[in-house]
Structure 1
């Protein structure tokens, strides 16, 4: 087996995996469909195995292809990190920095912080990855991450920015229609907004909300943004960050003494990036902005 397989072949391989067809991969990658087809054929020849089978739904990955996906994605992440490092070389704050943050933080909190950062550093380009999954900084899936837990890896530079408090909230229109619960017993008679599938984090957080299970929720969504939208439209009572709710006079906190949970919040990056001007400026801007938000 050749050891110098071109990255372009793996790039097309990932494109077909994600899009399900040669035409879709070609559009996503900015190449022609015949080129994508040649890349797949060349990779299959070098590896000595079929990677896709044709079906009515498109190209279906074989078991081998499914097993290779994680490795190809790791290559993609490394190539992107290499490109970001190369474009950010020098003393000026320029090039690309990739930031990972949870749904609510990424959509509701970071935009004005990033806008100010770009105003100060117009040659800086920002990639914002909004996901509740923890991105692997050691594998350079992101340069900087805002995390709701203390980082454990020794190779990471981390700064604690404070605690973000969560509490139950409802829109004033909902409370006007259904009343405000005075205790946990009355809460059971209300429309409660919550998760569909529990995660390790949710199982840990549920210790602070004794008696609350999936069956408690009348409206279920695994997206924090969907839950927030349901609260804002008056669909029921759900969990919202206190600092975020304060921005909206139409939201009222419910049972503050009975329901409260703190998220310890950190800004983290790989220690190898501490001397990168683009990463240092971004790291400092995130710390400053989030300290103000979490205060």
Structure 2
């Protein structure tokens, strides 16, 4: 391990981890399969470790490979961040900015904001990462993040957007078919839409909404977007952002006085990016748009 190990070996290593085969990794990276094989062999030799073993389902990572994965992923994020920084160099607003947000914010709220941003700055490219997993800004997995909790890392620039209120909603067709609940005691007699796995939100909701628990759900899904689609389809009563529901007649709020849950919303980015023109204009545009969304 006296000689530096080239980044391309780690890139191939990550691709094999994702695809569980040399052929899949080769397709993913757009290179020849023998090249991937040589990279893995060279990396194993340099590290003095066995990284993969053959199994019926493909290449299985060893414990050593799994332990190295997070370090290789950090290298991958840093390499991508370096590329984005290089693309933005020069005068004006240009280059690539990587934005991450939860499923509902990323798919229902950000698209028009990003479209308007692109119209104003045509040389700007946006990578939108839609995931309920919190992306690590310190490891540069993303440049800007919309979060529903206050960031704690000191190296992040954070601005509080406001509170996103959540409430119970249903489609008018469902309410016509099954009636409108008049109190929380009526909820067990309705088709409820909720999560399959226990989540921090579910635990918080149960404090003010005892009926909101897994065994009571007629529809269980861990995707917030799928839950929203079920509400829109008239499947039952579920939780939705109040600001989002105001925009369309297909979402009718019920039991507004009995249930309301408010989530603190923050916009964050790494402090090293605060002087970067393409990140700054994106941050400012998203902040203004999100403030308007939450009202």
Short-chain TM bin: over 0.9
Structure 2 Cα separation of the partners of residues 199 and 238 of structure 1: 15
Equivalent runs, 1:2-17 vs 2, <5 Å: 2-17=2-17
- SS state of the match for residue 97, structure 2? strand
Structure 1 Cα separation of the partners of residues 153 and 49 of structure 2: 38
Structure 2 Cα separation of the partners of residues 235 and 211 of structure 1: 18
Structure 2 Cα separation of the partners of residues 134 and 229 of structure 1: 23
The answer as to whether partners of 2:202 and 2:213 remain within 8 angstroms in 1 is no
1:240 paired with 2:240, answer yes
1:90 paired with 2:90, answer yes
- With normalisation by structure 1, the TM-score equals 0.97
Structure 1 residue 250 displacement after superposition: 2.0
Structure 2 Cα separation of the partners of residues 35 and 75 of structure 1: 20
Structure 1 residue 130 displacement after superposition: 0.4
Equivalent runs, 1:159-238 vs 2, <5 Å: 159-238=159-238
Q: Which runs of 5+ in 1 are unaligned?
A: none
Q: Which residue in 2 is equivalent to 1:291? A: 291
Structure 1 residue 263 displacement after superposition: 1.4
Q: Which residue in 2 is equivalent to 1:266? A: 266
- SS state of the match for residue 181, structure 2? coil
Structure 1 residue 87 displacement after superposition: 1.2
Query: What do residues 115-170 of structure 1 show as CA deviations (whole Å, max 9, x unaligned)?
Result: 00001111111000101111111111110000111112221111111211110000
Structure 2 Cα separation of the partners of residues 208 and 2 of structure 1: 60
The worse-fitting range, judged by mean Cα deviation, of 54-63 and 92-101 is: 54-63
Consecutive aligned runs of 4 or more in structure 1 exceeding 3 Å deviation:
none
Structure 1 residue 205 displacement after superposition: 4.2
Q: Which residue in 2 is equivalent to 1:158? A: 158
- SS state of the match for residue 189, structure 2? coil
Structure 1 Cα separation of the partners of residues 205 and 13 of structure 2: 39
Structure 1 residue 103 displacement after superposition: 0.3
Structure 1 Cα separation of the partners of residues 103 and 291 of structure 2: 18
Q: Which residue in 1 is equivalent to 2:41? A: 41
Q: Which residue in 2 is equivalent to 1:63? A: 63
- With normalisation by structure 2, the TM-score equals 0.97
Structure 2 Cα separation of the partners of residues 177 and 200 of structure 1: 32
The answer as to whether partners of 2:191 and 2:218 remain within 8 angstroms in 1 is yes
Structure 1 Cα separation of the partners of residues 282 and 252 of structure 2: 34
- SS state of the match for residue 258, structure 2? coil
Q: Which residue in 1 is equivalent to 2:52? A: 52
Structure 2 Cα separation of the partners of residues 159 and 262 of structure 1: 17
Count of residues in Structure 1 that have an aligned counterpart in Structure 2 = 295
Q: Which runs of 5+ in 2 are unaligned?
A: none
Q: Which residue in 2 is equivalent to 1:114? A: 114
Query: What do residues 53-81 of structure 1 show as CA deviations (whole Å, max 9, x unaligned)?
Result: 11221111111111111111011011111
Q: Which residue in 2 is equivalent to 1:134? A: 134
The worse-fitting range, judged by mean Cα deviation, of 51-60 and 14-23 is: 51-60
